[in-house]
């Protein structure tokens, strides 16, 4: 598939629509995305009190974030990082048109009175009326609202965290659930006005993890895909969209639908070297399918939980760090904040934001 003079690949924020036509947009490289976030909010929100509040959220988020990343005490960082995520999420919601977040909003998420057991501890969701930040973020990110019907076990949340996933495997003696996507292909049939997606995963990964192709399709929320013939490279498995997306005038219409459907089926890590994003699918056991969160929300929920523990039960937090999950939590607190920041910057800007590979 081509738009203009360029070949299209898959990405959450590769497409720009100005109301009339679609165009591809290239990633932005910034060492520090906070000023870019300020510009995006100014552009998205009309002058007035709501814009001022959105910028206040952004400034608070930045100070919490910088305080957390500069601090040396591990037990302090989750609380600061959660409030950075909270305020940045409010700014995101306001920028996307939910001005209720500029008013009286509550967390929408809570912890247990004595969360001392991993992985049995729970994150609870509020059923109160009003503006609930977690619930609003779930909606903005296209998550499944059914997850709010019951508490979420930390044991169901931990494997969804991409940074440090193999440390979770080590701690639990469980198999890996993330599979690397080796490459994407977006294909276009102009006579039929159809666009569809192929992507490829390593056959060696399947064999190493003892996964069948049918199990991947069912567990990775890929019911709309099928295994396609791939005689050109026996080392990879081609997963092909069963039913192409169609368009009336502009193939960008179909591409926009395809991106929207795929946004929570594909996880990404932000990298500082080309290709600047690495993509994965996440295989969920049937018993945990209803507990899948959007990628950023899984980071958000776990940071809330750890902040709740360090604030109210600091002794439990020290026990967590001394447990078999300690290396996982240490990596999560160190690595996930910058991932969350760049992924959220991409959402607010509507365009991929990455850190440049500059020495």
Query: What would the pLDDT profile of 241-264 be if each residue is shown by its tens digit?
Result: 999 999 999 999 999 999 999 999
Residues 160 and 52 in one domain: yes
Q: Kindly state whether residue 24 falls inside one of the protein's structural domains.
A: no
Residues 210 and 273 in one domain: yes
- C-beta separation of 234 from 190 below 8 A: no
At which of 250, 282, 314 does a domain end?
A: 282
The domain total for the chain is: 2
What is the pLDDT averaged over residues 61-70? 94
Range of the domain at 240: 2-9+178-282
Q: Tell me how far apart the alpha carbons of residues 29 and 97 are, in angstroms, rounded to a whole number.
A: 26
Interval 79-108: pLDDT, tens: 999 999 999 999 999 999 999 999 999 999
pTM attached to this predicted model? 0.94
Side-chain-side CA neighbours of residue 258 (13 Å): 32
Which of 24, 27, 68, 86 has the alpha carbon at shortest distance from 271? 27
Residue 359, pLDDT above cutoff 60: no
Residues 53 and 142 in one domain: yes
Q: Kindly state whether residue 218 falls inside one of the protein's structural domains.
A: yes
Interval 118-170: pLDDT, tens: 888 999 999 888 899 999 999 999 999 999 999 999 999 999 999 999 999 99
What is the pLDDT averaged over residues 10-19? 89
Residue 230, pLDDT above cutoff 80: no
Residues 325 and 277 in one domain: no
Q: Kindly state whether residue 186 falls inside one of the protein's structural domains.
A: yes
Give the list of residues 6+ apart from residue 97 with CB closer than 8 angstroms, or none.
Answer: none
The pLDDT confidence band at residue 358, using thresholds 50, 70 and 90, is low
Residues 47 and 92 in one domain: yes
Residues 226 and 133 in one domain: no
What is the pLDDT averaged over residues 173-194? 95
Q: Tell me how far apart the alpha carbons of residues 32 and 353 are, in angstroms, rounded to a whole number.
A: 10
Residues 160 and 43 in one domain: yes
């Amino acid at each position: 598939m081509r738009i203009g003079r360029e070949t299209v690949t898959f990405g959450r924020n590769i497409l720009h629509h100005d109301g009339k036509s679609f165009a591809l947009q290239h990633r932005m490289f910034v060492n520090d995305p906070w000023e870019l976030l300020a510009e995006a909010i100014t552009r998205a929100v009309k002058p007035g009190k709501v814009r001022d509040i959105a910028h206040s959220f952004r400034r608070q988020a930045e100070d919490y974030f910088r305080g957390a990343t500069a601090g040396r005490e591990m037990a302090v960082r989750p609380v600061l990082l959660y409030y950075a995520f909270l305020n940045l999420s409010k700014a995101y919601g306001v920028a996307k048109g939910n001005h209720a977040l500029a008013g009286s909003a509550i967390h929408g998420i809570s912890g247990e009175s004595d969360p001392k057991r991993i992985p049995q501890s729970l994150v609870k969701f509020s059923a109160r009326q009003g503006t609930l930040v977690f619930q609003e973020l779930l909606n903005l990110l296209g998550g499944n609202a059914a997850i709010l019907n019951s508490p979420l076990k930390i044991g169901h949340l931990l494997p969804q965290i991409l940074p440090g996933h193999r440390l979770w495997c080590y701690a639990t003696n469980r198999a890996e659930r993330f599979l690397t996507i080796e490459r994407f292909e977006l294909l276009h049939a102009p006579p039929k006005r159809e666009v569809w997606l192929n992507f490829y995963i390593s056959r060696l990964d399947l064999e190493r993890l003892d996964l069948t192709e049918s199990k991947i399709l069912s567990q990775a929320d890929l019911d709309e895909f099928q295994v396609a013939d791939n005689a050109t490279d026996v080392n990879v498995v081609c997963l092909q969209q069963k039913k192409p997306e169609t368009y009336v005038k502009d193939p960008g219409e179909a591409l926009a639908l395809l991106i929207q459907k795929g946004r929570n089926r594909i996880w990404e890590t932000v990298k500082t070297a080309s290709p600047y994003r690495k993509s994965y699918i996440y295989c969920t056991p049937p018993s945990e399918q209803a507990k899948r969160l959007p990628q950023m929300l899984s980071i958000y929920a776990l940071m809330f939980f750890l902040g709740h523990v360090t604030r109210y039960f600091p002794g439990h937090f020290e026990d967590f760090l001394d447990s078999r999950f300690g290396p996982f939590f240490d990596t999560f607190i160190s690595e996930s904040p910058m991932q969350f920041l760049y992924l959220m910057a991409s959402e607010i800007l509507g365009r991929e934001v990455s850190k440049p590979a500059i020495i």
